[in-house]
Amino acid sequence: MPTPKAEPVVLTDTERQVLTGWSRRRKTAQALAIRSRIVLACAEGGSNTAVSEQLGISRDMVRKWRTRFLTGRLEGLADEPRPGAPRKITDEQIDQVITKTLESTPANNDSHWSTRSMATETGMSQTAISRIWRAFGLKPHVVETWKLSTDPQFIDKVRDVVGLYMNPPENALVICVDEKSQIQALDRTAPTLPIMPTTPARMTHDYVRNGTTNLFAAFDLASGSVIAEMYPRHRHQEFLRFLKAIDAAVPGEFDLHLVLDNYATHKTPEVKKWLLRHPRFHLHFTPTSASWMNLVERWFAELTSRKLRRSAHRSVIELKADIQAWINAWNSAPKPFVWTKTADEILETLAAYCQRINDSGH
């Protein structure tokens, strides 16, 4: 039985202006923003299926808000009243809390709002502020790090590296290479207490430093196995020694495509001369400030979380032996990491993010 054709949506100039404002204002409640985008897409002639695919939502959701708009126009996009006790907090108060959280800081020069300071500012309870923040996913106390690459060859390097990951060349190995420098041999000032029912494992907050080592690692994209060497220093001489170790470990019939960052030791004249004498090595550099593209960094994260963070070592020799034992265990059952995002998807995501922060007023 054929699916009935959805009723077309025709907007007045005023309605289109209001819906566009709701959909673009970054500080609007996201529920209202997505409803506005649904109606605007429907007004362009899109079917329920086409709009759901365009916005990445369910077809039932598109059908619901198309019908609600046709019935109640702009007022139909608001949430209907729910049964129960009447609300004590108005929409204007919620909007005030959200706007203050996103667009201002406390008058006492604190760097961010707390539930207590926001409650004092708005005359509401801390519980109410907490509920509003949870409902809209606001966390003023949380700060994450970020950095956009300024590499003039960013797009070309992204396409190059992602192309290697998603379509490796034939008769060749793609190897992700990097160094985890200055790994410290830390010994806690008291023994670690074991985990018990209702009590997590406990470690002293202070420690004794017993020296450092530098781990050079090469992660095989296909198998997940790792070639690793540890050296006391982190110079181009050690990098050359590591390249020779990779050359000795990999059969000569394979070309080697190495993914590296832009560290100076990777580009010294001595390294370039050695590479000219070993033409099976091909270097591919990640963009500046984009080491997240190097999959060996993901392996370093495994090493840190599963071994180094909770370990204690009384000497560098003990640290190196512990790391090598963990690497041997990893290589006995290696786990490859699969890259899933295409270069176009990465670039589109970054472009959208740049557009958002470009409108933030910073």
Distance separating alpha carbons of residues 281 and 165, to the nearest angstrom = 17
Q: Average the pLDDT over 335-343 and give the result.
A: 92
Per-residue confidence (pLDDT) for residue 342, from 0 to 100: 93
The average confidence (pLDDT) of the chain is 87
Is the same domain home to 237 and 212? yes
| Predicted confidence band of residue 272 (pLDDT cuts 50, 70, 90) | very high
**Does residue 316 fall inside a structural domain?**
yes
Q: Is residue 141 part of a domain?
A: no
| Beta sheet of 207-220, edge-to-edge order | 226-231, 207-220, 172-188, 255-260, 281-285
Residue 25 has pLDDT above 70, yes or no: no
pTM of the predicted model as reported, rounded to 2 decimal places: 0.68
Q: Residues 41-95: pLDDT tens digits?
A: 887 777 878 887 888 888 788 888 788 777 777 777 776 666 667 778 888 899 9
Confidence at residue 70, expressed as pLDDT on a 0 to 100 scale: 79
* Alpha-carbon span 359 to 355, nearest angstrom: 7
Which amino acid is present at 171? N
pLDDT tens by residue, 214-271: 999 999 999 999 999 999 998 899 999 999 999 999 998 899 999 999 888 888 899 9
Residue 70 lies in a domain: yes
Residue 4 located in a structural domain: no
Are residues 311 and 349 in contact, defined by beta-carbon separation less than 8 angstroms?
no
Q: Which of 66-70, 134-138, 186-190 has the lowest mean pLDDT?
A: 66-70
> 150: closest CA among 350, 342, 345, 358?
350
CATH number of the domain where residue 273 is located? 3.30.420.10
Read off the pLDDT band of 28 (50, 70, 90): low
On whether both 116 and 54 belong to a single domain, the answer is no
The two three-digit tokens of residue 355, written as one number: 């557009």
pLDDT tens track for 285-298: 999 988 899 999 99
- Regarding whether 67 and 190 lie in a shared domain, the answer is no
Query: 254 and 112 in one domain?
Result: no
Is 86 among the domain residues?
Answer: no
Q: Residue 3 pLDDT more than 70?
A: no
Do 336 and 209 lie in a common domain?
A: yes
**Domain identity same for 278 and 216:** yes
Same domain for 168 and 69:
no
Number of domains forming the structure of the chain: 3
> Is 95 found in the same domain as 73?
no
Residues 199 and 321 occupy one common structural domain = yes
Task: Report d(CA 57, CA 61) in Å as an integer.
Answer: 7
Q: Using an 8 Å Cβ cutoff, are 40 and 16 in contact?
A: yes
- Name the percent of the chain lying above pLDDT 90: 49
What's the confidence (pLDDT) of residue 213?
Answer: 94
Residues 274 and 323 in one domain: yes
List the Cα angle 175/179/182 in 5-degree steps. 165
- Whether residues 188 and 330 fall in one domain: yes
Query: Same domain, yes or no, for 196 and 268?
Result: yes
- Tens-place pLDDT, residues 193-206: 888 898 898 888 88
Range of the domain at 57: 13-77
* Residue 254 domain flag: yes
